[in-house]
């Protein structure tokens, strides 16, 4: 049983490249339970309006054609819209979403609270 996540991006931005490196490094680890799709948001305008994709890099989770939301503490439960730097942190999020989606949950709680991410 797999779930999928889509990384929606504009291909030319530096922020997207950082997240690409993390995704490439964890691909082998998560291949048994997750499928990764890369989407160029300039090619799918309907998808952009449906999911409000305006950030340079966005990660969204899906299971059986259903959007799985994740509470990261940021107030936006629909997507991850910043570049993650830590591989293990991202793997933990993917595993949490997978476990919640298998149980039929439409909203899962992230293993870490990111509400203080931008505080100095």
CATH of the domain at 62: 3.40.30.10
Residue 15 lies in a domain: yes
Which residues, at least 6 apart from 57, have a Cβ–Cβ distance to it below 8 Å? 7, 8, 9, 10, 13, 15, 16, 19, 81, 82, 83
- Taking only the tens place, the pLDDT of each residue in 103-116 is 999 999 999 888 87
Q: What is the pTM of this model?
A: 0.83
pLDDT at 6: 67
Instruction: Report how many domains make up the chain.
Output: 1
Residue 30 lies in a domain: yes
- Taking only the tens place, the pLDDT of each residue in 66-97 is 999 999 988 888 888 888 888 999 999 999 99
- Taking only the tens place, the pLDDT of each residue in 1-30 is 455 666 666 655 666 677 888 888 998 999
pLDDT at 120: 40
pLDDT at 5: 64
Structural domain including 86 reads 3-109
Q: Are strands 57-63 and 3-9 parallel, antiparallel or unpaired?
A: antiparallel
DSSP letter for 85, please: -
């Amino acid at each position: 049983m797999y779930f999928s996540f889509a990384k929606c991006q504009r291909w030319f931005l530096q922020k997207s490249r950082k997240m690409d490196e993390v995704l490439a490094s964890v691909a082998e680890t998560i291949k048994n339970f997750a499928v990764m799709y890369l989407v160029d948001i300039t090619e799918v305008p309907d998808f952009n309006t449906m999911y409000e994709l305006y950030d340079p890099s966005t990660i969204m989770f899906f299971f059986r054609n259903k959007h799985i939301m994740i509470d990261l503490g940021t107030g936006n439960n629909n997507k991850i819209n910043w570049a993650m730097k830590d591989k293990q942190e991202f793997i933990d999020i993917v595993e949490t979403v997978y476990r919640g989606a298998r149980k039929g949950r439409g909203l899962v709680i992230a293993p870490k609270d990111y509400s203080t991410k931008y505080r100095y």
